[in-house]
Amino acid sequence: MTAPEEKTEPSPEPSKTTDIVPGPGGVMTDEVGVVTGDLTLRTELVGGDVVLRVQYKEAEEWYAVTGGKAPLADPSGLDTVHTIAVGLLNRPEG
């Protein structure tokens, strides 16, 4: 018997979201492993950290991107971090 999936809701802190399609291999998450297909990427500011989360497009559950958390010294950098994350993870052509 496996433990129930942990479902983490995004925080009400500042955030940016973009729909993405990852390339082969998908996006690794802490909670459920690899997710593939049409996803939504959320880059959020939690305290002094930037955190990346993904969900299946239009689903309710959000999953933490493995390795997707780091200190962010200046909150105004959230947009830049989100743009870079989208550039790295959105690979609709493979």
Q: Which of 10-19, 28-37, 49-58, 82-91 has the lowest mean pLDDT?
A: 10-19
Where exactly are the structural domains of the chain?
15-89
* pLDDT tops 60 at residue 5: no
For the record, the structure tokens of 50 come out as 């930037």
* pLDDT tops 90 at residue 13: no
Q: Of 4 and 80, which is predicted with more confidence?
A: 80
CB contact set of 81 (below 8 Å; sequence gap of 6+): 43, 50, 72
* CA-CA-CA-CA dihedral for 39, 54, 19, 51, to nearest 10: -160
pLDDT digits (tens, 9 = 90+) for 26-65: 999 999 999 999 999 999 999 999 999 999 999 999 999 9
Quote the CA–CA distance of 51 and 17 in Å, as a whole number: 12
Quote the pLDDT of residue 94.
80
Quote the pLDDT of residue 24.
93
pTM for this one?
A: 0.84
